[in-house]
Protein backbone atom coordinates (compact mmCIF):
# COMPACT_ATOMS: atom_id res chain seq x y z
CA UNK A 1 0.00 0.00 0.00
CA UNK A 2 1.28 3.43 -0.89
CA UNK A 3 -1.35 5.34 1.02
CA UNK A 4 -3.76 5.80 -1.92
CA UNK A 5 -7.14 4.34 -1.07
CA UNK A 6 -8.44 1.80 -3.58
CA UNK A 7 -12.04 0.89 -4.23
CA UNK A 8 -12.60 -2.78 -3.45
CA UNK A 9 -14.67 -3.64 -6.51
CA UNK A 10 -13.13 -2.33 -9.71
CA UNK A 11 -9.56 -1.39 -8.81
CA UNK A 12 -10.06 2.35 -9.45
CA UNK A 13 -8.60 4.59 -6.85
CA UNK A 14 -11.03 6.68 -4.86
CA UNK A 15 -9.56 9.78 -6.55
CA UNK A 16 -10.34 8.34 -10.01
CA UNK A 17 -13.89 7.52 -9.00
CA UNK A 18 -14.40 10.97 -7.48
CA UNK A 19 -13.13 12.59 -10.71
CA UNK A 20 -15.47 10.43 -12.85
CA UNK A 21 -18.48 11.13 -10.64
CA UNK A 22 -17.69 14.86 -10.56
CA UNK A 23 -17.78 14.94 -14.37
CA UNK A 24 -21.07 13.07 -14.39
CA UNK A 25 -22.60 15.47 -11.86
CA UNK A 26 -21.38 18.51 -13.82
CA UNK A 27 -22.77 17.12 -17.08
CA UNK A 28 -26.08 16.39 -15.37
CA UNK A 29 -26.35 19.86 -13.84
CA UNK A 30 -25.51 21.51 -17.16
CA UNK A 31 -28.08 19.42 -18.95
CA UNK A 32 -25.61 17.64 -21.22
CA UNK A 33 -26.83 14.32 -22.49
CA UNK A 34 -24.81 11.31 -21.48
CA UNK A 35 -24.81 7.85 -22.90
CA UNK A 36 -27.27 6.44 -20.41
CA UNK A 37 -29.19 3.24 -21.13
CA UNK A 38 -32.80 4.16 -21.82
CA UNK A 39 -35.88 2.18 -21.02
CA UNK A 40 -39.57 2.55 -21.79
CA UNK A 41 -42.02 1.72 -19.03
CA UNK A 42 -45.68 0.88 -19.44
CA UNK A 43 -48.10 0.87 -16.57
CA UNK A 44 -50.92 -1.56 -16.10
CA UNK A 45 -53.86 -1.81 -13.73
CA UNK A 46 -54.21 -4.91 -11.58
CA UNK A 47 -57.10 -6.02 -9.42
CA UNK A 48 -56.21 -8.04 -6.33
CA UNK A 49 -58.74 -10.66 -5.27
CA UNK A 50 -59.07 -13.90 -3.36
CA UNK A 51 -58.05 -16.70 -5.73
CA UNK A 52 -61.14 -18.76 -6.49
CA UNK A 53 -59.72 -20.42 -9.60
CA UNK A 54 -59.91 -24.24 -9.79
CA UNK A 55 -56.11 -24.47 -9.65
CA UNK A 56 -55.80 -22.13 -6.65
CA UNK A 57 -54.00 -23.28 -3.55
CA UNK A 58 -56.46 -24.44 -0.87
CA UNK A 59 -57.53 -22.25 2.05
CA UNK A 60 -55.98 -23.80 5.14
CA UNK A 61 -56.37 -23.39 8.88
CA UNK A 62 -53.53 -24.01 11.31
CA UNK A 63 -53.42 -23.64 15.08
CA UNK A 64 -50.21 -22.59 16.74
CA UNK A 65 -49.17 -22.26 20.35
CA UNK A 66 -48.61 -18.62 21.31
CA UNK A 67 -46.24 -19.72 24.09
CA UNK A 68 -43.74 -21.92 22.26
CA UNK A 69 -44.60 -21.37 18.58
CA UNK A 70 -45.36 -25.03 17.86
CA UNK A 71 -47.95 -25.55 15.12
CA UNK A 72 -50.44 -28.21 14.27
CA UNK A 73 -51.07 -29.45 10.76
CA UNK A 74 -52.73 -27.34 8.06
CA UNK A 75 -56.35 -28.41 7.80
CA UNK A 76 -59.32 -27.60 5.58
CA UNK A 77 -61.43 -26.12 8.41
CA UNK A 78 -61.14 -24.53 11.84
CA UNK A 79 -62.65 -27.32 13.91
CA UNK A 80 -60.32 -29.94 12.46
CA UNK A 81 -57.33 -27.65 13.03
CA UNK A 82 -58.44 -27.04 16.63
CA UNK A 83 -58.13 -30.75 17.45
CA UNK A 84 -54.39 -30.20 17.70
CA UNK A 85 -54.80 -27.89 20.73
CA UNK A 86 -55.70 -30.56 23.33
CA UNK A 87 -52.94 -32.78 21.96
CA UNK A 88 -50.41 -29.99 22.53
CA UNK A 89 -51.97 -29.07 25.87
CA UNK A 90 -51.51 -32.65 27.08
CA UNK A 91 -47.78 -32.40 26.32
CA UNK A 92 -47.42 -28.80 27.60
CA UNK A 93 -50.03 -28.16 30.35
CA UNK A 94 -48.74 -24.60 30.89
CA UNK A 95 -49.36 -23.55 27.27
CA UNK A 96 -52.83 -22.03 27.36
CA UNK A 97 -52.90 -19.49 24.51
CA UNK A 98 -53.16 -20.30 20.81
CA UNK A 99 -53.49 -18.62 17.45
CA UNK A 100 -55.44 -19.61 14.39
CA UNK A 101 -53.54 -18.94 11.18
CA UNK A 102 -55.61 -18.83 8.02
CA UNK A 103 -53.82 -19.11 4.69
CA UNK A 104 -55.96 -17.78 1.86
CA UNK A 105 -54.59 -17.56 -1.68
CA UNK A 106 -54.89 -14.28 -3.56
CA UNK A 107 -54.16 -13.38 -7.12
CA UNK A 108 -53.42 -10.25 -9.11
CA UNK A 109 -55.65 -10.04 -12.18
CA UNK A 110 -54.11 -8.02 -15.02
CA UNK A 111 -56.30 -5.20 -16.28
CA UNK A 112 -55.99 -2.59 -18.97
CA UNK A 113 -52.74 -0.90 -19.97
CA UNK A 114 -52.56 2.73 -18.95
ZN1 LIG B 1 -46.62 -24.68 23.19
Residue 10's pLDDT band, with cuts at 50, 70 and 90, is: low
For the stretch 56-112, pLDDT in tens is: 999 999 999 999 999 999 999 999 999 999 999 999 999 999 999 999 999 999 999
Q: How far, in Å, from the CA of 80 to the mean position of ligand 1?
A: 18
Q: What angle do CA 28, 30, 32 make, to 5 degrees?
A: 65
> What are the extents of the domains in the chain?
1-39, 60-113
How many angstroms is it from 64 CA to the middle of ligand 1? 8
101 alpha carbon – ligand 1 mean position (Å): 15
Rounded Cα distance, 50 and 58, in Å: 11
Give the distance (Å) from ligand 1 centre to CA of residue 105: 27
- What pLDDT is recorded for position 111? 95
pLDDT tens string 27-71: 888 877 666 778 888 999 999 999 999 999 999 999 999 999 999
At 80 the pLDDT is 98
Amino acid sequence: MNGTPTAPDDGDTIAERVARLSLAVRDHLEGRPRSVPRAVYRFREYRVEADGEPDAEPVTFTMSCAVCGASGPAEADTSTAARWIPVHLKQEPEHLTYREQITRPYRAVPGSWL
